[in-house]
Amino acid sequence: MPASPCSARAAAARLLDQVLGEGRLMSEALAQGTLDALPAADRARAQRLAMETFRGLERADRLIARHTRKPPPLPVRNVLRQAVSELAQGGEAHGVVSEAVAIVGASARHKRLSGMVNAVLRKLADEAPRVWSDLRVPRLPGWLREPLVAAWGKGAVAAMERAHLAGAPLDLTVNGDAAHWAARLGGEVLPTGSVRLREAGQVTALPGYDAGAWWVQDAAAAMAAKVLAPQPGETVLDMCAAPGGKTLQLATSGAAVTALDISARRMERVADNLARTGLSATGVVADALTYEGCYDAVLLDAPCSATGTIRRHPDLPHARDGAGIGELIGMQAAMLDHALSLLKPGGRLVFCTCSLLPDEGECQVDEVLARHADLVVDRAALDLPGIEPGWITEEGGLRLRPDYWPERGGMDGFYIACLRRG
Ligand SMILES: C[S@@+](CC[C@H](N)C(=O)[O-])C[C@H]1O[C@@H](n2cnc3c(N)ncnc32)[C@H](O)[C@@H]1O
């Protein structure tokens, strides 16, 4: 609504406009400075409010539809959505309603609708918290739901949607004694070795952050470097490295790690993360598809639809429509072929994506095996603490899903496989 929002709620509504009206991811909108005019605390609050609204978007729309004859223009609808979501989570009704009315009232184009906003929200101030949890769990949009139902079945997709609604805890990878840091931070050590915190607060204020004793990394994402299991003295290429969670893990092994990414800006984050943790790797800004070299092991965390990360990025299914996934699949296959050409004989390649779509995981491995007769899947590489037998796929990869570990708080969706050249 306003070009430069001046409160957390107005900024949250603006983020909704950018995602739902302009097809931008929230991370893209933030990188382009949408919230830059706000103080840090308001920026964080605006992001939290927007994320909560995306999680419950379908529920908010159902409630708004009960009290409107036709959908209001998108910017007004987004103010309503944000306000309803906040009311449903127990937000103080007077403050929520009056600010929504003020935001709409400040818009020359839409101020005539501020009376309607007031009337709708006054009704929903009582209704939303009462009925919210009885409304159905929000469904993924069709562009994503349909292929996921075809791949995993309706029951599994419903469980994924419950996991998306629940959101994600904070997972850490510890450089050293996980049990010590779990106790210090009031978290638990997961069966795969990550530390999970249910209530985290501001990450940079936690003990151990400044000293680089740990870094934020989802438990599923942490598995790829464990599957690669780099050894001291080996040469290892992290082929799509930024922002560097996996580079840090590789660097703790004593291997000589090269971290490569096409984005100079994102590689700065790898350098920052290495500096904070006191770890070392050689940084290279280059296109993975033309890079030359020879390595004992390569980690290819390829660009993908990122559909495994919806718990943490609930805007993603709303910003995207599936266009571009075909192109990503082609790029993943080209990167796989090129990564194999960088391996010494007998070398190993871990391919992974944070996608729930088999086309970006299981099918890529089936197809690369068909293209390269000297390639085998190393199933033994998945013999790791915490890996459950049901997570291993037919072709020998590891399929991780947000609906796994529901009692522990879930995990991101990931696909990981270790390939060896004969
Ligand atoms: C899934 S992210 C990598 C996440 C990272 N491995 C981590 O654990 O923090 C994919 C990365 O691929 C990079 N990328 C995309 N196309 C590339 C290319 N042609 N060559 C090298 N990197 C590329 C992107 O800049 C992005 O940082």
Q: Give me the tens of pLDDT residue by residue for the chain, a chain 422 residues long.
A: 555 668 999 999 999 999 999 999 999 999 999 899 999 999 999 999 999 999 999 999 999 999 999 999 999 999 999 999 999 999 999 999 999 999 999 999 999 999 999 999 999 999 999 999 999 999 999 999 999 999 999 999 999 999 999 999 999 999 999 999 999 999 999 999 999 999 878 899 999 999 999 999 999 999 999 999 999 999 999 999 999 999 999 999 999 999 999 999 999 999 999 999 999 999 999 999 999 999 999 999 999 999 999 999 999 999 999 999 999 999 999 999 999 999 999 999 999 999 999 999 999 999 999 999 999 999 999 999 999 999 999 999 999 999 999 999 999 999 999 999 87
Q: Taking CA 267 as the corner, what is the angle to CA 236 and CA 356, rounded to the nearest 5 degrees?
A: 75
CA distance 169 to 326: 31
* Residue 117 included in any domain: yes
The sign of the torsion formed by the CA atoms of 374, 375, 379, 384 equals positive
CATH of the domain at 60: 1.10.940.10
Q: Is the CB of 308 under 6 A from ligand 1?
A: no
What's the full length of the chain, in residues?
422
The 8 Å CB, 24+ separation contacts for 336-341 are: 336/300, 336/302, 336/364, 336/368, 337/368, 337/371, 337/372, 338/288, 338/289, 338/290, 338/291, 339/237, 339/239, 339/288, 339/298, 339/300, 340/368, 340/372, 340/375, 340/419, 340/421
What pLDDT score does 201 carry?
Answer: 84
Distance of CA 124 from the midpoint of ligand 1 (Å): 44
Of 76, 303, 56, 65, the residue nearest 161 (C-alpha): 56
Torsion region of 313: left, alpha or beta (phi above 0 gives left; psi -120 to 50 gives alpha) = beta
CA distance 67 to 120: 6
pLDDT by residue (tens digit) across 201-227? 889 999 999 999 999 999 999 999 999
Question: Containing domain of residue 290, as a range?
Answer: 219-421
- Joined together, the tokens standing for residue 144 give 């994503």
Query: Is residue 244 a contact partner of residue 221, using CB atoms and an 8 Å limit?
Result: no
DSSP 3-state percent helix, strand, coil across the chain (nearest 5):
50, 15, 35
Number of structural domains the chain divides into:
3
Please count the other Cβ atoms lying within 10 Å of the Cβ belonging to residue 262: 17
Residue 9, exposed/middle/buried by CB under 10 A (0-12, 13-18, 19+)? buried
Testing ligand 1's pocket by substitution, the residue of 248, 262, 337 carrying the most ligand atoms inside 8 A of its CB is 262
Shared-domain flag, residues 114 and 189: no
CA distance 379 to 343: 19
Shared-domain flag, residues 224 and 128: no
The identity of residue 153, as a single letter, is G
Q: Taking CA 198 as the corner, what is the angle to CA 87 and CA 25, rounded to the nearest 5 degrees?
A: 60
Which atom of ligand 1 is nearest to 354's Cα? 1
Please count the other Cβ atoms lying within 10 Å of the Cβ belonging to residue 25: 17
Q: Is the CB of 10 under 6 A from ligand 1?
A: no
CATH of the domain at 197: 3.30.70
Q: Is the CB of 327 under 6 A from ligand 1?
A: no
Please count the other Cβ atoms lying within 10 Å of the Cβ belonging to residue 370: 9
Shared-domain flag, residues 211 and 228: no
Of 155, 183, 217, the position where a domain reaches its end is 217
Shared-domain flag, residues 42 and 177: no
* Residue 154 included in any domain: no
- Joined together, the tokens standing for residue 205 give 């204020």
Shared-domain flag, residues 180 and 106: no
Query: Is residue 67 a contact partner of residue 125, using CB atoms and an 8 Å limit?
Result: no
Q: Is the CB of 287 under 6 A from ligand 1?
A: yes
Shared-domain flag, residues 127 and 203: no
Query: Is residue 53 a contact partner of residue 60, using CB atoms and an 8 Å limit?
Result: yes
Of 217, 249, 279, the position where a domain reaches its end is 217
Shared-domain flag, residues 293 and 315: yes
Of 292, 420, 302, the residue nearest 352 (C-alpha): 302
CA distance 121 to 99: 11
* Catalytic residue IDs: 354
Alpha carbon distances (Å) from 135 to 56, 60, 62, 215, 380: 10, 10, 8, 37, 45
Shared-domain flag, residues 235 and 317: yes
Which atom of ligand 1 is nearest to 303's Cα? 10
Distance of CA 241 from the midpoint of ligand 1 (Å): 5
Q: Is the CB of 243 under 6 A from ligand 1?
A: yes
* Residue 161 included in any domain: no
